[in-house]
Structure 1
Amino acid sequence: MGLADEIDAAVTSVVCSDWDTRKGTVVPTTDNVKLGNGAVEIDAVYLYADLADSTGLARDFTRTTAAKVIRAYLDATCRVIKARGGHIRSFDGDRVMAIFMGDSKNTDAARCALQINHVVQKIVAPRVEANLSSIKSKGFEIKHCVGIDTGTALVVRGGVRGSNDLVSIGRAPNVAAKLSDIRNGNYRTYVTEAVFKKIAEHTKYSSGDDKRLMWEGPYTREVGGETITIYKSSWWSKP
């Protein structure tokens, strides 16, 4: 059988087979999702954290410098995600995706985003500028954005045996990814209205006597051809 025939048979098998779907109560792993037609439906919060202007970083700096900046950002971000109960499921260059499940998933993800903002502004950026002189001399600013949405998604394994990974299909992962692409002043966190409504008070308001609302909105924004309601924040929270 030639390669074209092999691909034809494989694609036909995929599109003609019924999904073997089950409800998931924990974040799936590649070990518990069947490669063939396995699928897990989850009710979860998706968080995407994206380093801004990685194109300029790769263009204007050496590969070793750019790699250090990206690695520093991902290292710090992933540590916060794991500490806040998130499960990291994919990387795409300078972007990381995490899934939160459980009763407090919306609050956990929102708090995680505020803490990511703290470590990026108060740790990553100062350490990068202090130790990589070209970053500061060329005026490159370490910035990022986090997008969060909640909803049901279908998790399957994409690829072939020996070379595959989990893929999440649904509105929530798609919207969260697009929100993380926003670049707007000092705002670093964007959540959908569905997420905002379920955030606990201690993550909506600042600590102290004044109890200031840390989020602005509602605003409407077109995402993927759909007009959605979002909230944004420029606040940070120390982990």
Structure 2
Amino acid sequence: MRFPLPLKFFLFAALVAVVPLALVGENLVRIARDELKSAVNEDLTGVAAQVRSEFDSMYQGRWLAPLMVIRSGVDNPDLDVAQKVSLLTQGMEQLEGVVALQLSVEGSDIPMVVSDQTFGEALAAEGLDPVTTLAASPELIANIKGTGQFGRPLISQIRETGDWVATLALPMESKIAGRELTLAARINLGALRRTVSRHPFNQRGEITIVDHAGRTALVDDPEVMNQRAIVASAMPLIVAGARADALQTYRRPDGTDMLGAYAFPEWFPWAVITELSEESAYAVIAEMMRRIVMVGALGFAAASAAALIFSKGLTGPILKIGRVADAIGEGDYSARVDRVKSRDEIGDLAARVNTMAGQLSERMELMKFVSHETVSAIQARDGAGIKRGGERREVTMLFSDIRGYTAFSETVTPEEVIEVLNRYFEIQSAIVVRHGGDIDKFVGDELMAMFVGEDKEDRAVRCGVEIKEALAESFGAQTGRELAVGIGIASGAVVIGAMGARERMDYTVLGSTVNLAARLCSKAGPWEVLVDRATTDLVDEGVALDARPAVDLKGYADPVPVYRASFSEEETLAV
């Protein structure tokens, strides 16, 4: 009874539940990501709006409104100077964060300043004069008046202490000697700084305060952050005085993917930026993915263990077939698939591979008896069968013939004749192949080779000279017999194709060029390479071509010019 291979794969796939789990997990992750992104966006915008509201509420409720009350008291005409100074002192003590109050008289360079003692001592410890540092200069008061910024804070940082302070100026109705009075306050913004640094959001994200130039505020060491996309987006809105909150996704210069939002306080020229990395924002999804992978891994392990029972009988024969295919690919056509008894498609495949290996072995043996041109012609037909006929091509033909062969063959046994011929042809064949030639056939003691393509003339001549040199070195003084080689080379047009009967053809070359090369070979003396005129014109440097007396050849009315080829001295040394 056959057990079909598809059924085996079906049983194996049924045990593997990883794919359905992966599909379900992917959908769950996508849905969770969408929901989580919405929640994260609300969180970012909510935190930015909350910090903005706290800034505005703190400024307006803690500082601006009480200072306006103090201004009204100082404006009271029923109070004398001492009472007004007392009001300033008591008011500063009651207002958290106010470190200096002063009355400035228009046109006077000497303001009346009341400062916080503790803050003043901190400034003195850094080598600063508290009065000079905390006093609002007449120029600053004039600038505030000229720009209509009464009630609006002007922000600056005391570099030596790192404190951020705001200068607030309010105009007064009362006058001294007809001169206008201005109430100015210096406010320590440490409360705003603590609001940012202590916010719970900092445990998973970042809250950054930036000004119109992209510089960070309320920090010890301000730095320019305009390389961040969200900061660059907020900067023009600060300058324009816009108050539209926004949400943005972007990538930091270091490659971190971020989610961010910003909001703008009403009373400060800043943007409150909240940022959260996508890695932190989607940490829940990462944990979900980890659990899905863990469950998938357990399922895969269970499926693999179960599939092992089936795979042993399934993969064993396949591996054997694979090893045989590799051996055939490496040229071992004797390899066979054995001990495969599967009564299914695998068993059929093993039998077919064995049949294929036998047929390939036969074909490879047959290929040794035909030329490469014959094989190429058969392959070009793509299985349609080769037809009789030929085509005209430009080639260079080389004929090589052993001198003294007839006398030699009559004095030794046939076995020794075959052995010597094979040694001769082995050396010649290797040289022909190395120079890109194709051996058309062996006829008795004669070798016939063809060269086509670029530099065919040069390659053929070099091949002939190298054959002469190699055979002279290997056989000239070792055989004890008078065996030499003569070589003829000619170039021109030939006809290449299949010729003969329908059931028995030969793929060869014909034409006057073939005849000329064969006759030059017969005219060549022992260890001599004769070349026709058409070939010598295209031979490169390194080969010496000596003109010989023209020779009479059968079929030619006039003597044919010939040249004897040999390596120059430099080329001989290189070889």
TM-score range, shorter chain: 0.7 to 0.9
User: Could you tell me which residue of structure 2 aligns to residue 41 of structure 1?
Assistant: 392
Q: 1:94-141 deviations in whole A, cap 9, x for unaligned? A: 1111111122011000000110011101123455x2xxxxxx2xxx22
Residue 120 in structure 1 maps to residue 452 in structure 2: no
Q: Check 1:183–1:98 CA distance in 2 against 1; reply closer, same or farther (3 A cut).
A: closer
The structural deviation recorded for 1:36 is: 4.0
- Aligned positions of 1:19-34 closer than 5 A: 28-29=373-374, 30-31=377-378, 32=380
Match of 1:151 among 492, 500, 515: 492
User: How far apart in 2 are the matches of 1:225 and 1:160?
Assistant: 28
User: How far apart in 2 are the matches of 1:147 and 1:113?
Assistant: 8
User: How far apart in 1 are the matches of 2:497 and 2:408?
Assistant: 33
User: Could you tell me which residue of structure 2 aligns to residue 12 of structure 1?
Assistant: none
User: How far apart in 2 are the matches of 1:235 and 1:121?
Assistant: 14
Q: 1:141-200 deviations in whole A, cap 9, x for unaligned? A: 22001100000101122233453222312111111011111253x551000011111111
Greater percentage in helix: 2
Query: How many residue pairs were aligned?
Result: 192
Q: Is the contact made by 1:28 and 1:40 (CA closer than 8 Å) also made in structure 2?
A: no
Q: Is the contact made by 1:42 and 1:153 (CA closer than 8 Å) also made in structure 2?
A: yes
- Aligned positions of 1:85-234 closer than 5 A: 85-126=436-477, 129=479, 136=480, 140-184=481-525, 187-203=527-543, 214-226=544-556, 227-233=559-565
Aligned-residue sequence identity (percent) comes to 21
User: How far apart in 2 are the matches of 1:148 and 1:193?
Assistant: 10
User: How far apart in 2 are the matches of 1:110 and 1:146?
Assistant: 10
Q: Is the contact made by 1:72 and 1:124 (CA closer than 8 Å) also made in structure 2?
A: no
User: How far apart in 1 are the matches of 2:440 and 2:509?
Assistant: 9
Aligned partner letter, 2:408: L
User: How far apart in 2 are the matches of 1:183 and 1:193?
Assistant: 15
Greater percentage in strand: 1
Q: Check 1:115–1:157 CA distance in 2 against 1; reply closer, same or farther (3 A cut).
A: same
Aligned partner letter, 1:66: V
Q: Is the contact made by 1:44 and 1:105 (CA closer than 8 Å) also made in structure 2?
A: yes
Q: Check 1:72–1:162 CA distance in 2 against 1; reply closer, same or farther (3 A cut).
A: farther
Tell me, what secondary structure is at the counterpart of 1:106? Answer: helix
Q: Is the contact made by 1:41 and 1:153 (CA closer than 8 Å) also made in structure 2?
A: yes
The structural deviation recorded for 1:215 is: 2.5
Residue 71 in structure 1 maps to residue 422 in structure 2: yes
The structural deviation recorded for 1:88 is: 0.7
User: How far apart in 2 are the matches of 1:87 and 1:101?
Assistant: 9
Q: Check 1:201–1:156 CA distance in 2 against 1; reply closer, same or farther (3 A cut).
A: same
User: How far apart in 1 are the matches of 2:567 and 2:418?
Assistant: 27
Q: Check 1:218–1:194 CA distance in 2 against 1; reply closer, same or farther (3 A cut).
A: farther
Match of 2:432 among 56, 76, 81: 81
Tell me, what secondary structure is at the counterpart of 1:110? Answer: helix
User: How far apart in 2 are the matches of 1:78 and 1:126?
Assistant: 21
User: How far apart in 1 are the matches of 2:475 and 2:403?
Assistant: 13
User: How far apart in 1 are the matches of 2:433 and 2:530?
Assistant: 20
Q: Check 1:149–1:84 CA distance in 2 against 1; reply closer, same or farther (3 A cut).
A: same
Q: Is the contact made by 2:485 and 2:527 (CA closer than 8 Å) also made in structure 1?
A: no
User: How far apart in 1 are the matches of 2:373 and 2:447?
Assistant: 17
Structure with more contact order per residue of length (Cα contacts < 8 Å, sep ≥ 6): 1
Aligned partner letter, 1:120: L
Q: Is the contact made by 1:54 and 1:94 (CA closer than 8 Å) also made in structure 2?
A: yes
Aligned partner letter, 1:225: G
Q: What is the CA RMSD across the aligned residues, in angstroms?
A: 2.3
Q: 1:196-228 deviations in whole A, cap 9, x for unaligned? A: 11111122xxxxxxxxxx332143112223121
User: How far apart in 2 are the matches of 1:101 and 1:117?
Assistant: 21
User: How far apart in 2 are the matches of 1:216 and 1:229?
Assistant: 11
- Aligned positions of 1:10-21 closer than 5 A: none
User: How far apart in 2 are the matches of 1:109 and 1:83?
Assistant: 11
TM-score, normalising length: structure 1: 0.73
User: How far apart in 1 are the matches of 2:443 and 2:503?
Assistant: 19
Aligned partner letter, 2:447: V
Q: Check 1:234–1:201 CA distance in 2 against 1; reply closer, same or farther (3 A cut).
A: closer
TM-score, normalising length: structure 2: 0.32
Gaps of 5+ in 1: 1-26, 130-135, 204-213
User: How far apart in 2 are the matches of 1:159 and 1:54?
Assistant: 30
User: How far apart in 2 are the matches of 1:200 and 1:180?
Assistant: 22
